[in-house]
Structure 1
Amino acid sequence: MAAFIKAINAKIRSHPMLSYVCSTHFWGPVSNFGIPIAAVMDTQKSPELISGSMTGALTIYSATFMRYALAVQPKNYLLFLCHFVNEGAQLTQGYRWMQYHKWGGREEMEKQKVESGVKGAVGKVEAEAKNALDKAKEVVSK
């Protein structure tokens, strides 16, 4: 049985593409891609949910591992791509955090909520007034 497994391993390792797909050089970055996918999806959520300290830590982490991916031999371009995407997403989140917490985004969002609430209330009152006017016209016309 051991000879059979050794033969299969030798066959896999003799083919460069199969050897690469069966290595940690491939599966490490593939399994790590969950982080940038989640980060990109988080860019669509409200900025009040962003953690500034976690975003900063992930920005430094991704920059460090982008460098590491190019420092190892052979260079791991898949790992580099994974952390490049994460770096972009974290920088976007960092900008959104700064915009919301430091550059007046929170106040602007609250102002928009109040304005939309007022417009909604005015629209509701207008609709009720129109209904009352229509009812009054019906009564008068009878």
Structure 2
Amino acid sequence: MAAAIRALNAKIRSNPYTDYFCSTHFWGPASNFGIPIAAVMDTQKDPEIISGRMTLALCAYSATFARYALAVTPQNWLLFGCHVVNFSAQATQGYRYLNYWNFGGREKTMEAKAKEGLGRLEDVSKDTVKKVMGEK
């Protein structure tokens, strides 16, 4: 059995593509890509739920480890790309956080929601008046 496993391992390692596919240089970044995918998807959500501290921590993490992805030998470009995507998404989230909480975005959003609610209230009141008056 051990000989069969050694033979299979030698066959895998003899092909550069399968050798890379079976290495931690591939599976490390592949499993790490969940963080930037989640961050990119979060850019579509309400900025009120963004954690400023966590966004800052993830920006620092990605910037630091993007550097180290290129410092190892051989350089891990897939991991570097993962951290660059994550840094970009977190920087976007950081901008959205600052805009919402510090630069008037929250007030603009609340004003827009209030106007929308007022418009709906006017529509309901017009419909009610028509029903009371017997109009169609």
CA distance in 2, matches of 1:50, 1:130: 44
Q: Secondary structure at the match of 1:75?
A: coil
Could you list the runs of 5+ residues in structure 1 that have no partner in the other structure? none
Equivalent-residue separation in structure 2 for 1:3 and 1:119 (angstroms): 77
Query: Counterpart of 2:104 in structure 1: which amino acid?
Result: G
**Which residue of structure 2 lines up, in the alignment, with residue 6 of structure 1?**
6
Output the CA distance in 1 between the equivalents of 2:104 and 2:55: 19
Higher alpha-carbon Rg: 1
Q: CA deviation at 1:65?
A: 1.1
Could you say which residue in structure 2 is the equivalent of 1:24?
Answer: 24
SS in 2 for 1:44: coil
Question: What percent of counterpart residues are identical?
Answer: 59
Q: CA deviation at 1:131?
A: 2.6
Flag as ranges the 4+ runs of structure 1 deviating above 3 A.
none
Cα deviation code 1:37-94 (max 9, x no counterpart): 1001111110000000000000010111111111111111110111111111100100
Residue pairs, 1:1-142, within 5 angstroms: 1-133=1-133, 135=134
Paired residue total = 136
Query: Normalized against structure 1, the TM-score is what?
Result: 0.92
Superposed CA RMSD in Å reads: 1.3
| Structure 2 unmatched runs, 5+ | none
